[in-house]
Amino acid sequence: MTKSRNRFALAGTLAIILVAGGVAVLRGHGGTPATAAAAPQATPVDVAVVVQRQITDWQSYSGRLEAVDRVEIRPRVSGTLVAVRFKDGALVRKGDELFTIDPLPYQAEVARAEANLAGAQARVAYTTSDLARANRLIADNAIARRDLEQKQNDAREAAANLKAAQAALEIARLNLGYTHILAPVSGQVSKAEVTEGNLVAAGAGSVPLTTLVSVDRMYASFDVDEQTFLKYVNPARTGKGAPVPVDLGLANEDGYSRQGTVQYVDNRLDTTSGTIRVRATFDNRDGSLVPGLYARIRLGGGVPREALLIDEKALGTDQNKRFVMVLDDSNHAQYREVRLGANQGGLRVVDSGLKAGERIVVNGLQRIRPGDQVDPHVVQMAGNWPTVGQRQAPEGNAAEAKADIKANTRANSQANSHANSQPNAQANSRAAAVNPA
């Protein structure tokens, strides 16, 4: 009997121990479900605050540079070329001598014309004196009327011959002057196409001796689409709108180094291409612009306006849509479709889809999906503001520019504080879940 009781007591003790061990195991594995599966780690990304600035809408075009003055130098008299008075490619001033044609034949022509003029002057003097004598005689009926009329005719003929001799002398002197070929405009000459000793002929069909282009100013011609013409160019052309700013950049430049003015708009639109030819004028004091160079043209339109700008790296592509990832207050990524405008200062204009001050992912977009928790590192929005050659704001807007910089700095500081506070709060929440009071 005593043995049976001992057996039952031992069995009961073992059962209690097994039950207690099972409860401990269950508590160790299933009693804290919050820690059973490790929480997903936040993805580190770079974020920046959407920039808001005042911009001018620009339209970009391609064009070519043209010289304001381009002259083909041709001889105006025939003869032998005896001198080339410039170096190939040299800069010359208006009136500088470029070529010399043998002047000896034309000097002889001048001498002959001078002799003819002297003979005509002598003939005029003789006929004038003879006519005066005839007028005295006719009063006394000492000369026939027919003889008087003959002398009057001789005097008129002598006067006409005098004018012809004077004109012939002027032509001879002009031809002699044409043997010295002068620069009609200031600019840069090309190489001499005809060298000394060659016989040159006069006329528009003759071979040009060289070409001369002006360099102090330069034209840039480009084709503007119909919508831009109607919206910006035509109102300025008719005086109903503000002048259209136009900037120029060369192929080896990143920005636009020169500012110019619209000088000419064609009188008809090309129906084939739907464009109209526009020509702008630019200063070329340094001589770096050369006719024929490729030109990048930026045409401004409208009054300055407020716009939102973001970095191109923040943009994603979803078939035919463009989107960004916006962070909410808890640092979760949210998909946001955007409608884009032109480039401004190295940034992209956002016409719709974002608000000023919102935070977007600018680096690490490929590592996250909508709804993911991220670990934001706030950086400055990239870009180059203002761009090289961009028209600066007037001095009166300096205070506004400073205020804009301060506002962006303040927004970045707040974003940093917000980004740093979120991970700490989340860490505290996880700690409270693991170690309940």
Rounded average pLDDT over 406-421: 48
Distance CA 91, CA 187 (A): 6
| Residue 16, in any domain of the structure | no
If asked whether residues 257 and 152 sit together in one domain, one would say no
- 365 falls in which pLDDT band (50, 70, 90)? confident
If asked whether residues 260 and 372 sit together in one domain, one would say no
If asked whether residues 284 and 393 sit together in one domain, one would say no
Name the more confident of 274 and 141. 274
pLDDT at 390 over 70: no
Q: Which of 219, 239, 233 is nearest to 59 (CA)?
A: 233
* Residues in CB range of 123: below 8 A, 6 or more apart: 158, 161, 162
pTM over 0.85, yes/no: no
Rounded average pLDDT over 151-170: 95
Last residue of some domain: 173, 188, 212?
212
Chain center to CA of 31? 71
Please answer whether residues 99 and 181 qualify as being in contact, where contact means their C-beta atoms are separated by less than 8 angstroms: yes
| Residue 330, in any domain of the structure | yes
CA angle 124, 126, 127 (to 5 degrees): 65
If asked whether residues 380 and 402 sit together in one domain, one would say yes
pLDDT, position 342: 78
CATH number, residue 224? 2.40.30.170
If asked whether residues 372 and 323 sit together in one domain, one would say yes
- Tell me which residue range forms the domain holding 379: 43-55+305-423
Rounded average pLDDT over 177-205: 95
If asked whether residues 294 and 397 sit together in one domain, one would say no
Which stretches of 230-380 are DSSP H helices? 234-237
Last residue of some domain: 212, 229, 253?
212
CATH number, residue 328? 2.40.420.20
pLDDT at 29 over 60: no
Last residue of some domain: 260, 276, 303?
303
Please state whether beta strands 217-225 and 51-67 pair in parallel, antiparallel, or not at all (unpaired): antiparallel
pLDDT, position 262: 92
Rounded average pLDDT over 395-399: 37
pLDDT at 91 over 70: yes
Please state whether beta strands 79-84 and 91-92 pair in parallel, antiparallel, or not at all (unpaired): unpaired
pLDDT, position 71: 96
Mean pLDDT of the chain: 82
If asked whether residues 234 and 190 sit together in one domain, one would say no
Highest mean pLDDT among 4-18, 121-135, 241-255: 121-135
If asked whether residues 297 and 339 sit together in one domain, one would say no
| Residue 389, in any domain of the structure | yes
- 171 falls in which pLDDT band (50, 70, 90)? very high
Q: Quick check: helix, strand or coil at residue 103?
A: coil
Name the more confident of 431 and 163. 163
Please answer whether residues 56 and 341 qualify as being in contact, where contact means their C-beta atoms are separated by less than 8 angstroms: no
CATH number, residue 131? 2.40.50.100
| Residue 18, in any domain of the structure | no
pLDDT, position 98: 97
If asked whether residues 278 and 208 sit together in one domain, one would say no
| Residue 275, in any domain of the structure | yes
Q: Whose structure tokens read 């490729």?
A: 294
- 225 falls in which pLDDT band (50, 70, 90)? very high
Rounded average pLDDT over 10-36: 49
If asked whether residues 275 and 333 sit together in one domain, one would say no
Lowest mean pLDDT of 108-117, 136-145, 179-188, 350-359, name the range.
136-145
Alpha-carbon Rg for the chain in angstroms = 46
Number of domains observed in the structure of the chain = 3
How many C-beta atoms lie closer than 10 Å to residue 92's C-beta? 19
pLDDT, position 306: 87
Rounded average pLDDT over 413-434: 45
| Residue 90, in any domain of the structure | yes
| Residue 250, in any domain of the structure | yes
Distance CA 324, CA 313 (A): 10
- 281 falls in which pLDDT band (50, 70, 90)? very high
Which stretches of 191-270 are DSSP H helices? 226-228, 234-237
Q: What percent of the chain has pLDDT over 90?
A: 53
Distance CA 393, CA 250 (A): 23
Lowest mean pLDDT of 16-20, 81-85, 198-202, 402-406, name the range.
402-406
CA angle 357, 358, 361 (to 5 degrees): 130
Lowest mean pLDDT of 345-349, 355-359, 372-376, name the range.
345-349
Please answer whether residues 101 and 82 qualify as being in contact, where contact means their C-beta atoms are separated by less than 8 angstroms: yes
If asked whether residues 318 and 257 sit together in one domain, one would say no
| Residue 5, in any domain of the structure | no
If asked whether residues 205 and 237 sit together in one domain, one would say no
